[in-house]
Structure 1
Amino acid sequence: MNNELPLQLYKANAELQLQINRLLQESGRHWLDAMQQINTSRVLESGMRIQGLQQAADWQALATLPAELFWRMCQGQVGDGRELGEAAAKTQAAFADGLREALLAWQQSVSEAFGASGDPASAARIYQQWMQPWAGLAAGPQDDGKKQGGRS
């Protein structure tokens, strides 16, 4: 039996945690970038609208602006929603792929720690040998059939 098994398992679990934390940070950064891009385009569009209003000389055309602005804003929000959906799909796919790779690497590390080299039967046998000293503890306290402090 491998005497360094607890240390190898700890290392495999720590590496998995580090990978998951890195994936979460990358995912958060992608979301932040997407939101920043959407907000930047909205600020630029609003600035152009304000500039257009300041230069308006036709008061009748200016009176129709609220309706036109409403439809432009609706169309812009549909576009923003589409961009946000695309960003969400890309971010989620990248996270899922990274998580799958991290779990496969963890599974390989744990298999190597148990000396199984990917053989599930060998891994199970080594795991059972390693857990044998604690088997009695996992069963919990033995019940002698008597109920304590109460009615039957």
Structure 2
Amino acid sequence: MSVTAKTGVPLDVYKANLQFALRTSKLLKECGQCWIYTFGYMVGENIEETQEEIDKIARNDDPQSLTANPGEALMRLAQAHVSNAQSMAQVAITSHTLFVTGLRDAFQIWQHDTAKAMGHSEAMSSFHAAMNALFSELTAKNTHEG
């Protein structure tokens, strides 16, 4: 077991900490990309719908149908917002589930590697049990919300 000169802490503990930080950073990046993609898609869809409304009004020469357009447009927008809200809720649930699961896995790997490096896997068992209970509770809350 390699030990650092200044602190007496095994080098493998530093490696485990760095790997944990990298895994959690990757999780944050992946979840963030999911949100960015979702927002980008919805914004693009809204721009297309708005352009279609503008084109429809520009082509229309009938004054009576022009007065009906705002009501029709309002109904379409309301339906689109309900659909968007449902999509956002689904993305939130999926993203949260993936993040909590990934974080739990990264934490368990870190915990194992740290215990192995320190040579005290028995001392880590109560900590391991407490963290498993926490992640189980987070996963259960997420399941009940969906």
Letter aligned with residue 122 of structure 2: P
Return the offset for 1:35.
Answer: 0.2
Q: Shift of the alpha carbon at 1:114?
A: 2.1
| 1:97 counterpart residue number | 101
Aligned residue runs from structure 1 range 110-129, under 5 A:
110-116=114-120, 119-121=121-123
2:50 corresponds to 1:46: yes
2:33 pairs with 29, 42, 50, which one?
Answer: 29
Q: Distance in 1 between matches of 2:51 and 2:111?
A: 53
1:59 aligns with 2:60: no
Count of aligned residue pairs for this structure pair: 120
User: Once the 2 structures are TM-superposed, how far is the Cα of residue 6 of structure 1 from its aligned partner?
Assistant: 2.7
Matching residue's letter, 1:101: D
Listed as ranges, the gaps of 5+ residues in structure 1 are: 125-152
Identify, as 1 or 2, the structure richer in helix: 2
The CA deviation string for residues 24-77 of structure 1, in whole angstroms up to 9 with x for no partner, is: 111111110000010011111111111111111321011111122112111111
Q: Partner residue of 2:91?
A: 87
Residue matched to 1:7: 11
For 1:108, the equivalent position in structure 2 comes to 112
Unaligned ranges ≥5, structure 2? 4-8, 126-146
TM norm structure 1: 0.72
CA RMSD of aligned residues (A): 1.7
Task: Determine if contact 2:10/2:118 at 8 Å carries over to the other structure.
Answer: no
Aligned identity (percent) is 28
After the TM superposition, list the runs of 4 or more consecutive aligned residues in structure 1 that deviate by more than 3 angstroms.
Answer: none
